[in-house]
C-alpha cells in the first residue's frame, strides 16, 4: 500500500511520515526532495510555485508511486494541496491519504521555529489559499504531539487494511445480520453506523466485540473512512429506514466514483427507488433497489432477495446476493434479477401485502376456533400442526403454532398482548397502487384496513358496550366445522396469492418490466416470510399459466371447497365474528367466477346521471351508447 501524509508546510508531514513508516515497516520518502533546483530557489526566495512548476514534479512522483507499490509500498510526505494534484498522484488504485489539519496560528508557530528550510513562514498564506481539504482519507489534528498523531493514524489504519469487498450502512437488526451473513461466507465486510451522541455510539465496534470469532469485518462511525475502506468498484448496501435514504445518499454520493454500486435493501417505495435510480445514474453510479425478506433469522442465515434496477449494477453484486440468499429445494439461490427501475422494491411491496393477508386469515381462523368453537389454544395449535403436516405447510403457520404454545408464568403469553396490530406502510402502499392501476385487491386491502381498525382500541371498547356485541359460541359439530374451515383457509390462501400476482402482472405490462412470475414464486419458496408449500406449486403453475384461478389443477379443488367456504363465512358472521379477509376472498371468488354480473345495472346508473354511455351485448364490441332514461 501507498500512504501519503499531506498538509501545508509546517503541519508535520515529515516527522509523522517517518514515524508512520517505521511502524509500518515501509520506506519513507519526502516529496520536497524531488523538487527541481529552480523550484527550490523560488521557494527559498518566498515565491510560491505556480501549477506549471508543480506538474513535472507531481508527474515524477506519480511514476515513483507506481514503482514503490510494486516494490511493496511506501510512505510519502507531500503537500498535495489541491484535488487536481491528488488525482495526478493517484497512479495506483489504492492510496491511503492522511491529512494533517490544523489552525493557521499553530502551523505558523511551527514554521517560525524551523530553521534552514527553504519553505519559510512567508509561503504559508499562499499554501492555505491553495488548500482544498479532502473529503476522504484520515484527518488528524496537528495540535496533538507527533507521537499522538501517529497513534491516531495507526488506530484508524487498523480499520482500513486491507480493503473490504463489501460495505453495509446501518447496523440495526437486519443490517447487522446481513453483514455477519456475508462475513460467514468469506466476504470481507466494512460496516458503518451513524454516530449520535447518547443514542448511537460505537455501534459498529459493538458488533465486532459481540462476534469475536468473525475476523473479516471492520467497523466505522466516520462515513469517509468507511468508503475509503472499500475496494473499487465499491459495493455499498444501505439497511436504513426508507425516510432516511435520500439524506444518506446526499452525504454518500460525493464520496463515490463512477461505476460504484449502491444497494437499497430497505422497504422503500418503488417509485422513490425509480427516482433514485435515475439520480445516481446521472452521476455514473448504479442504484440497485432490493427487497429483502426473512426477518432477523432470514437475514442471518439466508433471506429471499429481490434486486431490481440497472442490470449492469446488479451483475456487479449478484454473486454476493446469491452467496447470502436462502436456497430452494434444488439448491438454487432464492434471488434473481427482478427487472428495471423500482421493480425489486415493487415485488417486495406485493410480498408484504400477501403477508398481511396471510397473517389476518390465520388470525380469523384462530378466533373462530377459540371463541366460536370453544377450543383451547393448545388444541388449536395441535389442529394447525395437523394442517402444517397435511399440505398447508408455511412459515407463518409454523410460527403461529409456536405462539399458541408459548406460556409465561403458566399462562398463555398471547392473552397478555394488546390487540392493536401495527404496520410499517408497505401493505398500504400496495393497496394504493392497486387503486392506481384499477386492479381488484380485496384480501390484501382488507388486511391493511383490519390493522387500521384494530388500532382504534378505545373506540372499539366503547362500541362493544354500546352495541352489546361479542363473540357468540356456536352449537355445531366442531370436527365438521374445523374440516370446513380448513377448506375455507386453503381457498383464501390461493385467492390471496392470485390477487397479489395479478397486481404484479398488470403493473409489469404497463411499465414493460417483463416480470417472471415463476421465478418470483421460486425465490419465495424459502427464506421469505410467505414461504410455503403452496409457493412451491405456484413456481410450477406460473410456468404455463397466467393465473391461479384459471389453472385446471387448482380449479377442481376450489370448486370442491366452495360450499364449505361459504358455510364458514356465513356461520362466522352470524355469530358476530369479523372476517374481513375470509369474506372478501369468498366475494372475490364469487365475483370472479360470475359470467353475468349486476355491473350492467351500475353502468346503466352511470349513464343515467352522468351520460357516461355503455356497451351492449347485442352489438359490436367497442361501440358505445347513451339513453334518455326518464320518459
| Catalytically annotated residues | 348, 355
Could you tell me how far CA 3 lies from the centroid of its own chain? 35
Cβ-based neighbours of 420, under 8 Å, separated by 6 or more = 454, 455, 457
| DSSP bridge partners of 3 | 75, 96
Distance, in Å, from the CA atom of 47 to the CA atom of 64, rounded to the nearest integer, reads: 27
Distance, in Å, from the CA atom of 280 to the CA atom of 266, rounded to the nearest integer, reads: 17
Q: Which long-range contacts (CB under 8 A, 24 or more apart) does 412-420 make?
A: 412/377, 414/377, 418/457, 419/454, 419/457, 420/454, 420/455, 420/457
Sheet holding 166-169, edge to edge: 217-220, 189-192, 166-169, 235-238, 261-264, 286-293, 304-308
Instruction: Find where cell 392497486 sits.
Output: 434
431 by DSSP, 3-state: which? Answer: helix
| CA-based max dimension of the chain | 112
Which three cell numbers mark 343? 421493480
Instruction: Find where cell 508543480 sits.
Output: 54
* DSSP code for 82: S
Distance, in Å, from the CA atom of 296 to the CA atom of 287, rounded to the nearest integer, reads: 24
C-alpha distances out from residue 589 to 491, 547, 584, Å: 9, 13, 9
Dihedral class, residue 363 (left if φ above 0, else alpha if ψ from -120 to 50, else beta): alpha
* DSSP code for 419: S
10 near 107, Cβ under 8 Å? yes
| DSSP bridge partners of 101 | 141
Which three cell numbers mark 121? 513562514
Amino acid at each position: 500500500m501507498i500512504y501519503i501524509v499531506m498538509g501545508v508546510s509546517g503541519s508535520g508531514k515529515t516527522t509523522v511520515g517517518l514515524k508512520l513508516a517505521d511502524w509500518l515497516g515501509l520506506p519513507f520518502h519526502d516529496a520536497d526532495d524531488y523538487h527541481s533546483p529552480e523550484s527550490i530557489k523560488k521557494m527559498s526566495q518566498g515565491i510560491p510555485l505556480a501549477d506549471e512548476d508543480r506538474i513535472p514534479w507531481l508527474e515524477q512522483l506519480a511514476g515513483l508511486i507506481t514503482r514503490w507499490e510494486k516494490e511493496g509500498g511506501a510512505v510519502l510526505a507531500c503537500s498535495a494541496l489541491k484535488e487536481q494534484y491528488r488525482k495526478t498522484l493517484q497512479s495506483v488504485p489504492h492510496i491511503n491519504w492522511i491529512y494533517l489539519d490544523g489552525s493557521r496560528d499553530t502551523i505558523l508557530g511551527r514554521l517560525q521555529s524551523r530553521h534552514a528550510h527553504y519553505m519559510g513562514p512567508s509561503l504559508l498564506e499562499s499554501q492555505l489559499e491553495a488548500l482544498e481539504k479532502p473529503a476522504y482519507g484520515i484527518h488528524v489534528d496537528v495540535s496533538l504531539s507527533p507521537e499522538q498523531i501517529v497513534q491516531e493514524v495507526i488506530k484508524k489504519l487498523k480499520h482500513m487494511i486491507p480493503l473490504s469487498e463489501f460495505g453495509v450502512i446501518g447496523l440495526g437488526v437486519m443490517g447487522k445480520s446481513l453483514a455477519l451473513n456475508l462475513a460467514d461466507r468469506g466476504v470481507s465486510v466494512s460496516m458503518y453506523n451513524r454516530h449520535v451522541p447518547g443514542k448511537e455510539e460505537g455501534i459498529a465496534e459493538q458488533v465486532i466485540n459481540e462476534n469475536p470469532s468473525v475476523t473479516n469485518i471492520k467497523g466505522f462511525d466516520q462515513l469517509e473512512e468507511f468508503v475509503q475502506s472499500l475496494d473499487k468498484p465499491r459495493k455499498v448496501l444501505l439497511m436504513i429506514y426508507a425516510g432516511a435514504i435520500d439524506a444518506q445518499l446526499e452525504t454518500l454520493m460525493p464520496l463515490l466514483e463512477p461505476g460504484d454500486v449502491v444497494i437499497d435493501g430497505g422497504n422503500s417505495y418503488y417509485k422513490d427507488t425509480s427516482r433514485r435510480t435515475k439520480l445516481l445514474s446521472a452521476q455514473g453510479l448504479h442504484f440497485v433497489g432490493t427487497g429483502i425478506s426473512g426477518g432477523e433469522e432470514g437475514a442471518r442465515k439466508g433471506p429471499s432477495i429481490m434486486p431490481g434496477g440497472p442490470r449492469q449494477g446488479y451483475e456487479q453484486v449478484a454473486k454476493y446476493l446469491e452467496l447470502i440468499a436462502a436456497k430452494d429445494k434444488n439448491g438454487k439461490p432464492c434471488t434473481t434479477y427482478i427487472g428495471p427501475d423500482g421493480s425489486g422494491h415493487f415485488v417486495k411491496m406485493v410480498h408484504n401485502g400477501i403477508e398481511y393477508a396471510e397473517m389476518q386469515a390465520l388470525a380469523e381462523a384462530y378466533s373462530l376456533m377459540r371463541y366460536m368453537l370453544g377450543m383451547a389454544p393448545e388444541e388449536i395449535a395441535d389442529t394447525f400442526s395437523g394442517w402444517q403436516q397435511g399440505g398447508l405447510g408455511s412459515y407463518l403457520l409454523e410460527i403461529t403454532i409456536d405462539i399458541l404454545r408459548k406460556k409465561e408464568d403458566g399462562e398463555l403469553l398471547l392473552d397478555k398482548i394488546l390487540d392493536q396490530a401495527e404496520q410499517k406502510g408497505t401493505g398500504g402502499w400496495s393497496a394504493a397502487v392497486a387503486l392506481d392501476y384499477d386492479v381488484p385487491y380485496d384480501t390484501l386491502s382488507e388486511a391493511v384496513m383490519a390493522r387500521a381498525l384494530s388500532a382504534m382500541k378505545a373506540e372499539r371498547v366503547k362500541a362493544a358496550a354500546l352495541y352489546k356485541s361479542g363473540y357468540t359460541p356456536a352449537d355445531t359439530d366442531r370436527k365438521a366445522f374445523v374440516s370446513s374451515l380448513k377448506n375455507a383457509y386453503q381457498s383464501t390462501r390461493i385467492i390471496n396469492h392470485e390477487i397479489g400476482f395479478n397486481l404484479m402482472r398488470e403493473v409489469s405490462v404497463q411499465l414493460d418490466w417483463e416480470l417472471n412470475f415463476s421465478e418470483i414464486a421460486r425465490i419465495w419458496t424459502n427464506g421469505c416470510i410467505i414461504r410455503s408449500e403452496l409457493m412451491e406449486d405456484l413456481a410450477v403453475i406460473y410456468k404455463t399459466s397466467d393465473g391461479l384461478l384459471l389453472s385446471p389443477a387448482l380449479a377442481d379443488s376450489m370448486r370442491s371447497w366452495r360450499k364449505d367456504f361459504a358455510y364458514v363465512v356465513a356461520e362466522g358472521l352470524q355469530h358476530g365474528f369479523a372476517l374481513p379477509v375470509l369474506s372478501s376472498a369468498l366475494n372475490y371468488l364469487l365475483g370472479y367466477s360470475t359470467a353475468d354480473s349486476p355491473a350492467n345495472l351500475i353502468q346503466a346508473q352511470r349513464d343515467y346521471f352522468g351520460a357516461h354511455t355503455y356497451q351492449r351485448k347485442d352489438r359490436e364490441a367497442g361501440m358505445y351508447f347513451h339513453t334518455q332514461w326518464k320518459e
